[in-house]
Structure 1
């Protein structure tokens, strides 16, 4: 119970702190930042909306709302998928890349100060292994039996 409560409280406080820092310094939410990062890391800076929803672990309706806000701010644009007329691509704009590059040092400094610098190398490895194992199990469970 101690581990579970510490995880819930600590992860919630960490995400709130990172969100607040990005919002105050750059007008971006942590969710916005995650979308911009995923787009920046893909070939052509474009991702199908359905794949983007899976990547940020969000519902499609919530993602649509987030991307609409980013589109209105000029950070992302939506366009038809060239090889599937039913699919929609989210694409990072030049302004989106500029804002991401401006916000990245703030985010990285926050992650370092609030988490990385609080742990030694062995603790970081253990944390990564535990969270990766839990995430893998949840992904397998969501896919169902083969």
Structure 2
């Protein structure tokens, strides 16, 4: 079976496979790909992520937060000093700089977040969760963690959860290497 790198490399003919049918259709490699465990793993990951987002989203919404607002506040409350550089935060929550700025504007107007000049880089700014933001998160998190337990962690043994967390960190390091907390700042990394 061709390696994934071979399939995505335009210089490699992914249909050229020793298992290709004698009729020359090249469907042997295609049929093998249909049963490739890599597709299964990626498909399950996407399916689980979408299911968790739906299961957790309504609880978060019930507290007056959009999922993206919750994610920003969660990253902040879990970071040292309750703050992150805006550019690092944008990468962690998969928003453009302008998208995060608009979201931060909304959270700042509600008193949940404030922005301050970055002490290590005069061009940048840090997002800081406020006391009110912490109060909101203190109200949201017990129900959120209960749902995470119900829909995710209760299905796993402790060793499986540890292995899953490690595997997800490894994948993230490959696809989003600059998303690690504090990747380019003087702010120490927090939990992801």
Partner of 2:148: 111
Task: Structure 2: state its 5+ residue gaps.
Answer: 1-38, 180-192
Partner of 2:113: 76
Displacement, 1:116?
0.5
Q: Secondary structure at the match of 1:74?
A: coil
Q: Which moved more, 1:61-70 or 1:128-137?
A: 128-137
Alpha carbons of structure 1 residues 103 and 85: separation in structure 2 relative to 1, 3 Å: same
Q: Secondary structure at the match of 1:86?
A: coil
- State yes or no: 1:21 paired with 2:59: yes
Displacement, 1:126?
3.2
Partner of 2:42: 4
Displacement, 1:140?
4.8
- State yes or no: 1:126 paired with 2:163: yes
Under a length normalisation based on structure 2, what TM-score does the superposition of the two structures give?
Answer: 0.64
Under a length normalisation based on structure 1, what TM-score does the superposition of the two structures give?
Answer: 0.82
How big is each residue's C-alpha offset from its partner over 1:72-118, in whole Å with a ceiling of 9 and x where there is no partner?
11101123334543222212111111101111101111111110112
Q: Secondary structure at the match of 2:59?
A: helix
CA distance in 1, matches of 2:60, 2:54: 10
CA distance in 2, matches of 1:31, 1:106: 17
Q: Which of 124, 129, 139 is the matching residue for 1:92?
A: 129
Structure holding more helix per residue? 1
Q: CA RMSD in A?
A: 2.3
- State yes or no: 1:46 paired with 2:79: no
Q: Secondary structure at the match of 1:71?
A: helix
Displacement, 1:27?
0.9
